[in-house]
Chains A and B, each alone.
Chain A
Amino acid sequence: MNTYEKFRKMMDNHIMLSFKGEITSDIITMVLQIMETRLDSVSEKGSVKKKIFNVLVECMQNLYHHSEAEEPGDINTRRAMLELFYDDEYYYILTGNYIKKDAIPPLRDRIDRVNSLSKEELRSYYRQILDNNIISDKGGADLGMIDMARKSGQKLFYDFHEATDTLSFFELRVKVAKKKPKK
């Protein structure tokens, strides 16, 4: 694929932002700044913009706190990916990061549980976790997935890709509807 074809492909796939590398505090700030400007320029309604922004904040916190290094012990290899794109109906926030294989079952359970709940059930689950959980050093304490499901109003799509003997590549895809659903 030549460079122009690559460019056309990015255009056709409506990629707003694509990143691969270590998620640092500076990168998070920069990405949020870029996306704020970009979402303003496509004049999305305030509420849609806020939902996307909220999900993006949470996704990047996850990458920041939970990415494992590709080469065990070498923190310079905590590589992750982040991509934002859209189609006619939705905006998509796609992330990928390495996790230890033994982290798969609890993570799968957590997302499946969130996906099984209705809007009202999610809300009471959120209240319950907010009230009961102690603050972990990584901050999130399980609220992240619940929050993303609530804010996006959509099920969370995930997958685990075989990477190395000990690592799996965790893919998370959150979508946000472009227009407010009619009531």
Chain B
Amino acid sequence: MDNLIIDGTRQTPEINFDSETGILKLEGRSIPENTFEFFTPVLNWLDEYANSAPGKTIAKINLEYFNTSSSKYILEILKKLKVLLNDGKEVLVEWYYEEDDEEMMETGEDYEDVSGLPFKIISFEEE
């Protein structure tokens, strides 16, 4: 299957989902007014990915900002990954946050709790 590559904009995140390596990157900011339009193809891709996913999937999520309508879709992405985990595949979510951004760290913990996926919450220094 094809990889999913979407360039980032000032309103939408950069997406680089690799179906062969199982590395799914989601980076930047997600603040569009119409989240449905942006995330529907992403969720559809994940449905297809579930049929041919490699043994291990690592989702690398590194978001600077996202609005609450995106937050629902981020959970939807994680729920799709939960299906893989339930199928006996290995899944890890790496959640990145800038070291002074406590809210983004807490949000990572919230997603870890709600999704039931293994998380690694990783801080990095501000540029």
Q: Assuming A46-B126, A64-B33, A130-B75, is B106 touching A51 (CB within 8 A)?
A: no
Tell me the smallest distance from the CB of A183 to a CB of chain B, in Å: 11
Query: Which stretch of B13-21, B65-73, B81-89 is in the interface?
Result: B65-73
- Residue positions of A touching B, CB distance < 8 A: 25, 28-29, 32-33, 45-47, 50-51, 53-54, 57-58, 61, 64-65, 123, 126-127, 130-131, 133, 135, 137-141, 143-144, 147, 150-151
Tally of B interface residues using CB under 8 Å? 27
- Between A123, A138, A139, A141, the greatest number of chain B beta carbons within 10 A of the residue's beta carbon is seen for A139
In contact, B67 and A47 (Cβ under 8 angstroms): no
Q: Is chain A's interface secondary structure helix, strand, loop, or mixed overall?
A: helix
Interface residues of B in 71-126 (CB under 8 A from A): 71-73, 75-76, 98, 100-103, 106, 110, 113-114, 126
In contact, B10 and A33 (Cβ under 8 angstroms): yes
- Between A47, A51, A137, A151, the greatest number of chain B beta carbons within 10 A of the residue's beta carbon is seen for A47
Interface residues of B in 2-36 (CB under 8 A from A): 10-11, 31, 33-36
